[in-house]
Structure 1
Amino acid sequence: MSAVPAARPTASAEPPDRGPELDLLLVPPRARTGWRLVPARIAAMCAVELQKLRHDRTELYTRAVQPALWLLIFGETFTRLKAIPTGGIPYLDYLAPGIIAQSAMFIAIFYGIMIIWERDSGVLTKLLVTPTPRAALVTGKAFAAGVKAVLQAVVVVLIAAVLGVAMTWNPLRLLGVVAVVLLGSAFFSCLSMAIAGIVLTRDRLMGIGQAITMPLFFGSNALYPLDLMPGWLQAVSKVNPLSYQVDALRGLLIGTPSHLPLDFAVLAAATLAGIAAASALLGRLAR
Protein backbone atom coordinates (compact mmCIF):
# COMPACT_ATOMS: atom_id res chain seq x y z
CA MET A 1 0.00 0.00 0.00
CA SER A 2 1.27 3.41 -0.85
CA ALA A 3 1.88 5.91 1.94
CA VAL A 4 -0.68 8.65 2.37
CA PRO A 5 1.00 12.01 1.53
CA ALA A 6 1.13 14.57 4.32
CA ALA A 7 -1.46 17.32 4.15
CA ARG A 8 -0.14 20.57 2.73
CA PRO A 9 -1.23 23.94 4.13
CA THR A 10 -3.81 25.53 1.94
CA ALA A 11 -3.56 29.10 0.65
CA SER A 12 -6.46 30.08 2.83
CA ALA A 13 -4.65 29.10 5.99
CA GLU A 14 -4.41 32.09 8.40
CA PRO A 15 -0.93 33.40 9.24
CA PRO A 16 0.30 32.87 12.76
CA ASP A 17 -0.96 35.35 15.28
CA ARG A 18 1.40 38.30 15.84
CA GLY A 19 1.64 40.22 19.04
CA PRO A 20 1.14 44.00 19.20
CA GLU A 21 4.88 44.54 19.64
CA LEU A 22 5.62 42.74 16.35
CA ASP A 23 2.89 44.73 14.59
CA LEU A 24 4.58 47.98 15.64
CA LEU A 25 7.82 46.76 14.09
CA LEU A 26 6.29 45.59 10.81
CA VAL A 27 3.69 48.31 10.28
CA PRO A 28 4.94 51.93 10.52
CA PRO A 29 2.69 54.41 12.33
CA ARG A 30 0.46 56.49 10.13
CA ALA A 31 2.06 59.82 9.30
CA ARG A 32 0.31 62.94 10.49
CA THR A 33 -1.07 64.98 7.65
CA GLY A 34 -3.10 68.11 7.17
CA TRP A 35 -3.99 70.18 10.19
CA ARG A 36 -2.41 67.68 12.61
CA LEU A 37 1.09 68.14 11.17
CA VAL A 38 1.81 71.67 12.39
CA PRO A 39 0.73 71.19 16.06
CA ALA A 40 2.77 67.98 16.21
CA ARG A 41 5.86 69.76 14.85
CA ILE A 42 5.38 72.67 17.25
CA ALA A 43 5.08 70.30 20.23
CA ALA A 44 8.17 68.38 19.11
CA MET A 45 10.29 71.54 18.77
CA CYS A 46 9.07 72.81 22.13
CA ALA A 47 9.96 69.48 23.77
CA VAL A 48 13.46 69.54 22.22
CA GLU A 49 14.09 73.02 23.61
CA LEU A 50 12.87 72.07 27.08
CA GLN A 51 15.15 69.03 27.15
CA LYS A 52 18.06 71.46 27.35
CA LEU A 53 16.60 72.91 30.55
CA ARG A 54 16.15 69.43 31.97
CA HIS A 55 19.88 68.73 31.68
CA ASP A 56 20.96 72.11 33.11
CA ARG A 57 18.71 73.72 35.72
CA THR A 58 21.21 76.35 36.84
CA GLU A 59 19.57 78.86 34.48
CA LEU A 60 16.43 78.83 36.63
CA TYR A 61 18.37 79.54 39.81
CA THR A 62 20.61 82.26 38.43
CA ARG A 63 17.76 84.08 36.71
CA ALA A 64 15.81 84.18 39.97
CA VAL A 65 18.42 86.45 41.57
CA GLN A 66 17.55 89.63 39.67
CA PRO A 67 13.76 89.63 40.28
CA ALA A 68 14.40 88.79 43.93
CA LEU A 69 16.66 91.84 44.24
CA TRP A 70 14.06 94.06 42.56
CA LEU A 71 11.39 92.93 45.02
CA LEU A 72 13.59 92.90 48.12
CA ILE A 73 15.47 96.16 47.56
CA PHE A 74 13.54 98.36 45.13
CA GLY A 75 10.09 97.19 46.18
CA GLU A 76 10.64 97.32 49.93
CA THR A 77 12.39 100.70 49.76
CA PHE A 78 9.75 102.45 47.67
CA THR A 79 6.98 100.89 49.75
CA ARG A 80 8.44 102.69 52.78
CA LEU A 81 9.02 105.94 50.90
CA LYS A 82 5.49 106.02 49.43
CA ALA A 83 6.90 108.19 46.65
CA ILE A 84 4.90 106.62 43.81
CA PRO A 85 1.09 106.88 44.03
CA THR A 86 -0.52 103.55 43.27
CA GLY A 87 -4.13 104.16 44.23
CA GLY A 88 -3.95 102.83 47.77
CA ILE A 89 -2.20 99.59 46.77
CA PRO A 90 1.10 98.85 48.55
CA TYR A 91 3.91 99.53 46.11
CA LEU A 92 5.35 96.03 46.55
CA ASP A 93 2.01 94.57 45.43
CA TYR A 94 1.94 96.98 42.50
CA LEU A 95 5.52 96.11 41.52
CA ALA A 96 5.31 92.29 41.66
CA PRO A 97 3.38 91.79 38.35
CA GLY A 98 5.81 94.16 36.63
CA ILE A 99 8.77 92.13 37.83
CA ILE A 100 7.12 88.92 36.57
CA ALA A 101 6.80 90.52 33.13
CA GLN A 102 10.34 91.86 33.29
CA SER A 103 11.91 88.52 34.18
CA ALA A 104 9.93 86.79 31.41
CA MET A 105 11.09 89.38 28.88
CA PHE A 106 14.74 89.03 29.94
CA ILE A 107 14.55 85.27 29.34
CA ALA A 108 13.02 85.67 25.87
CA ILE A 109 14.81 88.71 24.47
CA PHE A 110 18.14 86.90 24.09
CA TYR A 111 16.63 83.74 22.61
CA GLY A 112 18.01 84.66 19.19
CA ILE A 113 21.53 83.98 20.46
CA MET A 114 20.61 80.32 20.75
CA ILE A 115 19.37 80.13 17.17
CA ILE A 116 22.58 81.79 15.92
CA TRP A 117 24.53 79.17 17.85
CA GLU A 118 22.44 76.47 16.17
CA ARG A 119 23.31 78.06 12.80
CA ASP A 120 27.02 78.02 13.63
CA SER A 121 26.91 74.38 14.75
CA GLY A 122 24.95 73.23 11.68
CA VAL A 123 21.79 72.26 13.59
CA LEU A 124 19.65 74.97 12.00
CA THR A 125 20.49 73.87 8.46
CA LYS A 126 19.40 70.33 9.28
CA LEU A 127 16.15 71.58 10.77
CA LEU A 128 15.36 73.72 7.74
CA VAL A 129 15.65 70.77 5.32
CA THR A 130 13.11 68.71 7.29
CA PRO A 131 9.40 68.83 6.40
CA THR A 132 8.82 71.05 9.43
CA PRO A 133 7.36 74.42 8.34
CA ARG A 134 9.44 77.38 9.38
CA ALA A 135 6.49 78.85 11.25
CA ALA A 136 6.20 75.64 13.29
CA LEU A 137 9.93 75.74 14.03
CA VAL A 138 9.74 79.34 15.23
CA THR A 139 6.52 78.76 17.19
CA GLY A 140 7.97 75.72 18.97
CA LYS A 141 11.02 77.69 20.06
CA ALA A 142 8.88 80.68 21.04
CA PHE A 143 6.59 78.69 23.31
CA ALA A 144 9.56 76.84 24.79
CA ALA A 145 10.78 80.27 25.87
CA GLY A 146 7.27 80.85 27.24
CA VAL A 147 7.40 77.68 29.34
CA LYS A 148 10.75 78.76 30.77
CA ALA A 149 9.24 82.14 31.57
CA VAL A 150 6.29 80.48 33.33
CA LEU A 151 8.73 78.56 35.54
CA GLN A 152 10.48 81.86 36.28
CA ALA A 153 7.13 83.48 37.06
CA VAL A 154 6.38 80.74 39.60
CA VAL A 155 9.62 81.60 41.40
CA VAL A 156 8.76 85.32 41.45
CA VAL A 157 5.23 84.61 42.70
CA LEU A 158 6.61 82.49 45.55
CA ILE A 159 9.09 85.21 46.52
CA ALA A 160 6.31 87.81 46.42
CA ALA A 161 4.08 85.60 48.58
CA VAL A 162 6.86 85.27 51.17
CA LEU A 163 7.19 89.07 51.21
CA GLY A 164 3.47 89.39 51.92
CA VAL A 165 2.15 90.47 48.53
CA ALA A 166 -1.63 90.02 48.46
CA MET A 167 -2.23 87.99 45.29
CA THR A 168 -5.15 85.89 44.18
CA TRP A 169 -4.93 82.09 44.18
CA ASN A 170 -8.00 81.62 42.01
CA PRO A 171 -7.14 78.76 39.59
CA LEU A 172 -8.85 80.43 36.63
CA ARG A 173 -6.96 83.66 37.19
CA LEU A 174 -3.69 81.78 37.55
CA LEU A 175 -4.39 80.05 34.23
CA GLY A 176 -4.86 83.50 32.76
CA VAL A 177 -1.48 84.51 34.21
CA VAL A 178 0.12 81.50 32.52
CA ALA A 179 -1.46 82.46 29.19
CA VAL A 180 -0.27 86.08 29.51
CA VAL A 181 3.29 85.03 30.34
CA LEU A 182 3.33 82.53 27.45
CA LEU A 183 2.11 85.09 24.92
CA GLY A 184 4.41 87.87 26.11
CA SER A 185 7.48 85.63 26.15
CA ALA A 186 6.61 84.15 22.76
CA PHE A 187 6.48 87.64 21.27
CA PHE A 188 9.81 88.77 22.72
CA SER A 189 11.55 85.54 21.71
CA CYS A 190 10.21 85.97 18.16
CA LEU A 191 11.44 89.57 18.21
CA SER A 192 14.88 88.27 19.22
CA MET A 193 14.87 85.63 16.46
CA ALA A 194 13.80 88.23 13.91
CA ILE A 195 16.66 90.51 14.98
CA ALA A 196 19.01 87.50 14.73
CA GLY A 197 17.88 87.03 11.14
CA ILE A 198 18.89 90.64 10.42
CA VAL A 199 22.18 91.05 12.30
CA LEU A 200 23.37 87.41 11.83
CA THR A 201 26.00 87.48 14.62
CA ARG A 202 25.82 86.86 18.35
CA ASP A 203 27.83 89.96 19.30
CA ARG A 204 25.53 92.30 17.40
CA LEU A 205 22.43 90.61 18.81
CA MET A 206 23.79 90.86 22.35
CA GLY A 207 24.40 94.57 21.88
CA ILE A 208 20.95 95.23 20.43
CA GLY A 209 19.30 93.11 23.11
CA GLN A 210 20.99 95.07 25.87
CA ALA A 211 20.09 98.33 24.13
CA ILE A 212 16.34 97.61 23.93
CA THR A 213 15.61 95.76 27.18
CA MET A 214 15.90 98.77 29.48
CA PRO A 215 13.87 101.13 27.21
CA LEU A 216 11.18 98.44 26.91
CA PHE A 217 11.13 98.00 30.69
CA PHE A 218 11.25 101.66 31.73
CA GLY A 219 8.96 102.64 28.85
CA SER A 220 6.18 100.48 30.26
CA ASN A 221 3.93 100.63 33.31
CA ALA A 222 5.98 98.01 35.19
CA LEU A 223 7.39 100.46 37.75
CA TYR A 224 4.95 103.38 37.78
CA PRO A 225 1.47 104.28 36.50
CA LEU A 226 1.06 105.75 33.04
CA ASP A 227 -0.32 109.00 34.50
CA LEU A 228 3.08 109.86 35.98
CA MET A 229 4.86 109.65 32.61
CA PRO A 230 5.47 112.60 30.29
CA GLY A 231 3.31 112.67 27.19
CA TRP A 232 5.94 111.28 24.81
CA LEU A 233 6.66 108.36 27.15
CA GLN A 234 2.95 107.60 27.45
CA ALA A 235 2.82 107.34 23.65
CA VAL A 236 5.77 104.92 23.73
CA SER A 237 4.10 102.87 26.46
CA LYS A 238 0.89 102.52 24.44
CA VAL A 239 2.75 100.72 21.63
CA ASN A 240 4.90 98.67 23.99
CA PRO A 241 3.57 95.09 24.31
CA LEU A 242 5.16 94.85 27.76
CA SER A 243 2.68 97.45 29.05
CA TYR A 244 -0.26 95.28 28.02
CA GLN A 245 1.34 92.23 29.60
CA VAL A 246 1.85 94.08 32.89
CA ASP A 247 -1.69 95.47 32.81
CA ALA A 248 -3.13 91.98 32.36
CA LEU A 249 -0.95 90.51 35.12
CA ARG A 250 -1.98 93.23 37.57
CA GLY A 251 -5.64 92.71 36.80
CA LEU A 252 -5.36 88.94 37.21
CA LEU A 253 -3.05 88.78 40.24
CA ILE A 254 -3.98 91.74 42.44
CA GLY A 255 -7.34 92.78 41.00
CA THR A 256 -6.52 96.30 39.81
CA PRO A 257 -8.69 97.82 37.05
CA SER A 258 -7.41 96.47 33.74
CA HIS A 259 -8.42 95.91 30.13
CA LEU A 260 -8.09 92.15 29.80
CA PRO A 261 -9.80 91.71 26.38
CA LEU A 262 -7.60 94.43 24.88
CA ASP A 263 -4.48 93.09 26.62
CA PHE A 264 -4.99 89.56 25.32
CA ALA A 265 -5.84 90.82 21.84
CA VAL A 266 -2.69 92.95 21.62
CA LEU A 267 -0.45 90.17 22.95
CA ALA A 268 -1.95 87.59 20.58
CA ALA A 269 -1.63 89.93 17.57
CA ALA A 270 1.95 90.83 18.52
CA THR A 271 2.85 87.14 18.87
CA LEU A 272 1.40 86.26 15.46
CA ALA A 273 3.24 89.19 13.88
CA GLY A 274 6.46 88.11 15.61
CA ILE A 275 6.10 84.52 14.37
CA ALA A 276 5.53 85.75 10.81
CA ALA A 277 8.55 88.08 10.93
CA ALA A 278 10.89 85.52 12.49
CA SER A 279 9.76 82.83 10.01
CA ALA A 280 10.41 85.14 7.05
CA LEU A 281 13.90 86.04 8.30
CA LEU A 282 14.92 82.57 9.45
CA GLY A 283 16.24 81.58 6.03
CA ARG A 284 18.85 84.37 6.09
CA LEU A 285 20.61 82.67 8.98
CA ALA A 286 21.18 79.49 7.01
CA ARG A 287 22.69 81.15 3.92
Structure 2
Amino acid sequence: MSVDRTINAANTTSAVAPNLVAAPHGLQRVWATLGRVVAFAIVELQKLQHDRTELVTRMVQPALWLLIFGTTFSHLQVIDTGSVSYLAFLAPGIIAQSALFISIFYGIQIIWDRDAGILAKLMVTPAPASALITGKAFAAGVRSVAQVVGVLGLAYLMGIALTINPLRIVAAMAVVVLGAAFFACLSMTLAGLVRNRDRLMGIGQAITMPLFFASNSLYPVDVMPAWLHTLSTVNPLSYEVDVLRALLIGTPFHAVDVVVLLVAPIIGIATASKVLRRLVA
Protein backbone atom coordinates (compact mmCIF):
# COMPACT_ATOMS: atom_id res chain seq x y z
CA MET A 1 0.00 0.00 0.00
CA SER A 2 2.78 2.39 0.94
CA VAL A 3 4.58 1.50 -2.28
CA ASP A 4 1.49 2.45 -4.31
CA ARG A 5 1.26 5.76 -2.49
CA THR A 6 4.91 6.48 -3.21
CA ILE A 7 4.44 5.71 -6.91
CA ASN A 8 1.31 7.87 -7.08
CA ALA A 9 3.10 10.75 -5.34
CA ALA A 10 5.99 10.49 -7.78
CA ASN A 11 3.60 10.49 -10.72
CA THR A 12 1.77 13.51 -9.32
CA THR A 13 5.03 15.39 -8.81
CA SER A 14 6.21 14.65 -12.33
CA ALA A 15 2.84 15.70 -13.70
CA VAL A 16 2.98 19.15 -12.13
CA ALA A 17 6.72 19.70 -12.61
CA PRO A 18 7.33 22.74 -14.81
CA ASN A 19 8.66 22.22 -18.29
CA LEU A 20 12.17 23.62 -18.54
CA VAL A 21 12.82 25.73 -21.63
CA ALA A 22 16.16 25.09 -23.23
CA ALA A 23 18.43 28.10 -23.51
CA PRO A 24 18.79 29.39 -27.07
CA HIS A 25 21.87 28.22 -28.88
CA GLY A 26 23.45 28.62 -32.28
CA LEU A 27 21.54 30.94 -34.58
CA GLN A 28 18.74 31.26 -32.05
CA ARG A 29 21.17 32.74 -29.55
CA VAL A 30 22.54 35.14 -32.16
CA TRP A 31 19.07 36.36 -33.12
CA ALA A 32 18.07 36.68 -29.47
CA THR A 33 21.14 38.80 -28.75
CA LEU A 34 20.54 40.97 -31.81
CA GLY A 35 16.95 41.48 -30.70
CA ARG A 36 18.13 42.68 -27.31
CA VAL A 37 20.68 45.01 -28.90
CA VAL A 38 17.97 46.56 -31.07
CA ALA A 39 15.66 46.88 -28.06
CA PHE A 40 18.31 48.70 -26.02
CA ALA A 41 19.08 50.99 -28.96
CA ILE A 42 15.40 51.85 -29.44
CA VAL A 43 15.04 52.68 -25.75
CA GLU A 44 17.99 55.07 -26.02
CA LEU A 45 16.63 56.73 -29.15
CA GLN A 46 13.21 57.19 -27.57
CA LYS A 47 14.84 59.53 -25.06
CA LEU A 48 15.02 62.09 -27.86
CA GLN A 49 11.25 62.48 -27.61
CA HIS A 50 11.71 64.24 -24.28
CA ASP A 51 14.02 66.88 -25.81
CA ARG A 52 13.58 67.14 -29.55
CA THR A 53 15.46 70.44 -29.64
CA GLU A 54 18.68 68.54 -28.93
CA LEU A 55 19.15 67.71 -32.60
CA VAL A 56 18.90 71.39 -33.50
CA THR A 57 21.09 72.77 -30.72
CA ARG A 58 23.84 70.27 -31.47
CA MET A 59 24.10 71.74 -34.97
CA VAL A 60 25.21 75.13 -33.65
CA GLN A 61 28.83 74.19 -33.03
CA PRO A 62 29.54 72.46 -36.37
CA ALA A 63 27.81 75.35 -38.15
CA LEU A 64 30.12 77.82 -36.41
CA TRP A 65 33.18 75.78 -37.37
CA LEU A 66 32.18 75.85 -41.02
CA LEU A 67 30.86 79.40 -41.19
CA ILE A 68 33.55 81.14 -39.12
CA PHE A 69 36.66 78.99 -38.88
CA GLY A 70 36.26 77.42 -42.30
CA THR A 71 35.54 80.56 -44.29
CA THR A 72 38.27 82.53 -42.48
CA PHE A 73 41.01 80.00 -43.14
CA SER A 74 39.73 79.48 -46.66
CA HIS A 75 40.25 83.18 -47.38
CA LEU A 76 43.65 83.23 -45.67
CA GLN A 77 44.81 80.24 -47.75
CA VAL A 78 47.38 79.28 -45.12
CA ILE A 79 46.66 75.54 -45.26
CA ASP A 80 47.54 73.75 -48.47
CA THR A 81 44.87 71.18 -49.32
CA GLY A 82 45.90 70.63 -52.92
CA SER A 83 43.22 70.73 -55.58
CA VAL A 84 40.44 70.55 -52.99
CA SER A 85 39.11 73.74 -51.42
CA TYR A 86 39.74 74.11 -47.71
CA LEU A 87 36.01 74.19 -46.94
CA ALA A 88 35.50 70.90 -48.79
CA PHE A 89 38.50 69.47 -46.95
CA LEU A 90 37.14 70.70 -43.61
CA ALA A 91 33.51 69.54 -43.91
CA PRO A 92 34.16 65.78 -43.37
CA GLY A 93 36.32 66.64 -40.37
CA ILE A 94 33.53 68.72 -38.86
CA ILE A 95 31.08 65.84 -39.37
CA ALA A 96 33.43 63.51 -37.48
CA GLN A 97 34.04 66.12 -34.80
CA SER A 98 30.35 66.73 -34.14
CA ALA A 99 29.74 62.98 -33.82
CA LEU A 100 32.69 62.76 -31.43
CA PHE A 101 31.25 65.50 -29.23
CA ILE A 102 27.94 63.62 -29.00
CA SER A 103 29.38 60.22 -28.17
CA ILE A 104 32.31 61.07 -25.90
CA PHE A 105 29.95 62.05 -23.07
CA TYR A 106 27.62 59.08 -23.55
CA GLY A 107 28.99 57.38 -20.46
CA ILE A 108 27.28 60.02 -18.32
CA GLN A 109 23.93 58.53 -19.28
CA ILE A 110 24.93 55.10 -18.05
CA ILE A 111 25.94 56.61 -14.71
CA TRP A 112 22.52 58.28 -14.57
CA ASP A 113 20.98 54.85 -15.18
CA ARG A 114 23.08 53.47 -12.32
CA ASP A 115 21.98 56.22 -9.94
CA ALA A 116 18.32 55.72 -10.90
CA GLY A 117 18.55 51.98 -10.25
CA ILE A 118 17.86 51.14 -13.89
CA LEU A 119 21.28 49.66 -14.61
CA ALA A 120 21.08 47.17 -11.73
CA LYS A 121 17.77 45.87 -13.10
CA LEU A 122 19.18 45.56 -16.61
CA MET A 123 22.22 43.66 -15.38
CA VAL A 124 20.10 40.84 -13.91
CA THR A 125 18.20 40.25 -17.15
CA PRO A 126 19.22 37.39 -19.47
CA ALA A 127 20.71 39.94 -21.87
CA PRO A 128 24.53 39.95 -21.76
CA ALA A 129 26.35 43.15 -20.86
CA SER A 130 27.68 43.32 -24.41
CA ALA A 131 24.11 43.65 -25.74
CA LEU A 132 23.47 46.63 -23.48
CA ILE A 133 26.76 48.29 -24.46
CA THR A 134 26.22 47.61 -28.16
CA GLY A 135 22.69 48.99 -28.08
CA LYS A 136 23.79 52.19 -26.37
CA ALA A 137 26.84 52.56 -28.61
CA PHE A 138 24.92 52.29 -31.85
CA ALA A 139 22.16 54.52 -30.50
CA ALA A 140 24.86 57.17 -30.11
CA GLY A 141 25.85 56.47 -33.70
CA VAL A 142 22.30 56.87 -34.98
CA ARG A 143 22.00 60.16 -33.12
CA SER A 144 25.14 61.31 -34.88
CA VAL A 145 23.61 60.67 -38.29
CA ALA A 146 21.60 63.85 -37.81
CA GLN A 147 24.91 65.72 -37.75
CA VAL A 148 25.78 64.29 -41.16
CA VAL A 149 22.51 65.54 -42.58
CA GLY A 150 22.89 68.95 -40.96
CA VAL A 151 26.49 69.55 -42.00
CA LEU A 152 25.87 68.33 -45.54
CA GLY A 153 22.83 70.57 -45.85
CA LEU A 154 24.81 73.58 -44.66
CA ALA A 155 27.71 72.68 -46.94
CA TYR A 156 25.43 72.54 -49.98
CA LEU A 157 23.94 75.92 -49.05
CA MET A 158 27.46 77.36 -48.81
CA GLY A 159 28.32 75.99 -52.24
CA ILE A 160 30.93 73.55 -50.94
CA ALA A 161 31.74 70.87 -53.50
CA LEU A 162 30.70 67.65 -51.76
CA THR A 163 29.25 64.57 -53.39
CA ILE A 164 25.53 64.30 -54.03
CA ASN A 165 25.73 60.57 -54.71
CA PRO A 166 23.13 59.02 -52.37
CA LEU A 167 25.10 55.78 -51.98
CA ARG A 168 28.19 57.67 -50.87
CA ILE A 169 26.14 59.74 -48.45
CA VAL A 170 24.58 56.62 -46.92
CA ALA A 171 28.05 55.08 -46.65
CA ALA A 172 29.25 58.24 -44.90
CA MET A 173 26.40 57.88 -42.41
CA ALA A 174 27.47 54.29 -41.72
CA VAL A 175 31.04 55.46 -41.14
CA VAL A 176 29.83 58.06 -38.64
CA VAL A 177 27.77 55.41 -36.82
CA LEU A 178 30.86 53.20 -36.45
CA GLY A 179 33.05 56.06 -35.29
CA ALA A 180 30.49 57.34 -32.81
CA ALA A 181 29.92 53.80 -31.51
CA PHE A 182 33.62 53.47 -30.69
CA PHE A 183 33.83 56.78 -28.86
CA ALA A 184 30.62 56.00 -26.97
CA CYS A 185 32.23 52.72 -25.86
CA LEU A 186 35.32 54.66 -24.79
CA SER A 187 33.09 56.94 -22.72
CA MET A 188 31.25 54.01 -21.13
CA THR A 189 34.58 52.33 -20.36
CA LEU A 190 35.71 55.48 -18.58
CA ALA A 191 32.37 55.57 -16.76
CA GLY A 192 33.01 52.07 -15.46
CA LEU A 193 36.46 53.11 -14.26
CA VAL A 194 35.69 56.45 -12.59
CA ARG A 195 32.04 55.72 -11.59
CA ASN A 196 31.32 59.40 -11.06
CA ARG A 197 29.54 61.89 -13.32
CA ASP A 198 31.69 64.88 -12.41
CA ARG A 199 34.94 63.00 -12.95
CA LEU A 200 33.73 61.62 -16.25
CA MET A 201 32.66 65.07 -17.41
CA GLY A 202 36.11 66.41 -16.56
CA ILE A 203 37.87 63.58 -18.36
CA GLY A 204 35.60 63.96 -21.38
CA GLN A 205 36.36 67.66 -21.61
CA ALA A 206 40.07 66.95 -21.18
CA ILE A 207 40.32 64.44 -24.03
CA THR A 208 37.80 65.80 -26.55
CA MET A 209 39.82 68.68 -27.94
CA PRO A 210 43.14 66.75 -27.96
CA LEU A 211 41.41 63.99 -29.94
CA PHE A 212 40.09 66.59 -32.36
CA PHE A 213 43.26 68.62 -32.80
CA ALA A 214 45.52 65.54 -32.88
CA SER A 215 43.67 64.27 -35.93
CA ASN A 216 43.53 65.28 -39.57
CA SER A 217 40.14 66.98 -39.14
CA LEU A 218 41.43 70.54 -39.56
CA TYR A 219 44.65 70.11 -41.52
CA PRO A 220 46.48 67.50 -43.60
CA VAL A 221 48.93 65.25 -41.80
CA ASP A 222 51.68 66.53 -44.12
CA VAL A 223 51.75 69.91 -42.38
CA MET A 224 51.87 68.45 -38.86
CA PRO A 225 55.05 68.39 -36.79
CA ALA A 226 56.50 64.92 -36.33
CA TRP A 227 55.14 64.37 -32.83
CA LEU A 228 51.61 65.39 -33.85
CA HIS A 229 51.81 63.23 -36.95
CA THR A 230 52.64 60.27 -34.70
CA LEU A 231 49.65 60.99 -32.48
CA SER A 232 47.34 61.23 -35.47
CA THR A 233 48.33 57.74 -36.62
CA VAL A 234 47.02 56.21 -33.36
CA ASN A 235 43.95 58.42 -33.23
CA PRO A 236 40.82 56.57 -34.45
CA LEU A 237 39.25 59.89 -35.42
CA SER A 238 41.86 60.32 -38.17
CA TYR A 239 40.82 57.07 -39.83
CA GLU A 240 37.16 58.05 -39.66
CA VAL A 241 37.92 61.40 -41.29
CA ASP A 242 39.97 59.70 -44.01
CA VAL A 243 37.06 57.48 -45.01
CA LEU A 244 34.61 60.40 -44.90
CA ARG A 245 36.86 62.44 -47.19
CA ALA A 246 37.19 59.52 -49.59
CA LEU A 247 33.40 59.23 -49.75
CA LEU A 248 32.45 62.91 -49.79
CA ILE A 249 35.22 64.64 -51.75
CA GLY A 250 36.92 61.74 -53.55
CA THR A 251 40.32 61.66 -51.87
CA PRO A 252 42.34 58.41 -52.14
CA PHE A 253 40.81 55.44 -50.35
CA HIS A 254 42.87 53.31 -47.94
CA ALA A 255 41.75 49.86 -46.82
CA VAL A 256 43.44 50.26 -43.43
CA ASP A 257 41.00 53.06 -42.59
CA VAL A 258 38.04 50.71 -43.01
CA VAL A 259 39.76 47.96 -41.01
CA VAL A 260 40.34 50.34 -38.10
CA LEU A 261 36.73 51.55 -38.26
CA LEU A 262 35.43 47.98 -38.11
CA VAL A 263 37.81 46.69 -35.44
CA ALA A 264 37.72 49.69 -33.09
CA PRO A 265 34.01 49.36 -32.13
CA ILE A 266 34.45 45.63 -31.49
CA ILE A 267 37.35 46.31 -29.13
CA GLY A 268 35.39 49.14 -27.54
CA ILE A 269 32.31 46.98 -26.93
CA ALA A 270 34.40 44.15 -25.44
CA THR A 271 36.29 46.53 -23.13
CA ALA A 272 33.22 48.46 -21.98
CA SER A 273 31.35 45.21 -21.30
CA LYS A 274 34.18 44.04 -19.04
CA VAL A 275 34.14 47.14 -16.84
CA LEU A 276 30.37 47.70 -16.85
CA ARG A 277 29.79 45.59 -13.74
CA ARG A 278 32.02 47.93 -11.76
CA LEU A 279 29.19 50.46 -11.89
CA VAL A 280 26.82 48.20 -9.99
CA ALA A 281 29.39 46.57 -7.72
> What TM-score comes out, normalization by structure 1 length?
0.88
**One-letter amino acid of the structure 2 residue matched with residue 262 of structure 1:** V
Taking the aligned partners of 2:101 and 2:148, their CA distance within structure 1 comes to: 12
Deviations 1:98-141 (A, max 9, x none): 00000000000000000000000000000001111100110000
**Structure 2 unmatched ranges of 5 or more:** 1-22
Aligned to 1:274: 268
1:274 Cα offset (Å): 0.4
Provide the residue aligned with 2:78 in structure 1: 83
Structure 1 runs of 4+ aligned residues shifted over 2 Å read: none
1:114 paired to 2:109:
yes
Task: State the partner residue of 2:60.
Answer: 65
Determine the C-alpha separation between the residues in 2 that align with 1:73 and 1:226: 22
Mark the runs of 5 or more structure 1 residues left unpaired by the alignment. Answer: 1-30
Looking at structure 2, the residues matched to 150 and 54 of structure 1 have their Cα atoms a distance apart, in angstroms, of 16
Letter in 1 for 2:269: I
Name the structure 2 match of 1:249.
Answer: 244
Q: Which amino acid aligns with 2:248?
A: L
Query: Which of 114, 126, 129 is equivalent to 1:134?
Result: 129
User: 1:242 offset after TM fit, Å?
Assistant: 0.2
Q: Equivalents in 2 of 1:264, 1:194: separation in Å?
A: 23
CA distance in 2 between counterparts of 1:152 and 1:172 reads 17
Which residue pairs with 1:15 in the alignment?
none
The answer for the alignment partner of 2:152 in structure 1 is 157
Is structure 2 residue 222 aligned with structure 1 residue 227?
A: yes
In structure 2, what is the equivalent of residue 262 of structure 1? 256
> What is the TM-score with the length of structure 2 in the denominator?
0.89
AA matched with 2:208 = T
What is the root-mean-square deviation of aligned Cα atoms in Å? Answer: 1.3
Query: How much has 1:175 moved relative to structure 2?
Result: 2.1
Task: Give the corresponding residue for 2:162.
Answer: 167
Q: Kindly provide the amino acid, as one letter, of the partner of residue 180 in structure 2.
A: S
What do the CA deviations read for 1:31-85 (whole angstroms, capped 9, x no partner)? 9742211110000000000000123211111110000000000001111111100
Partners of 1:230 and 1:35 in 2: CA distance: 47
Q: What is the aligned counterpart of 1:95 among 66, 90, 98?
A: 90
Name the larger-Rg structure: 1
What percent identity do the matched residue pairs reach?
Answer: 63
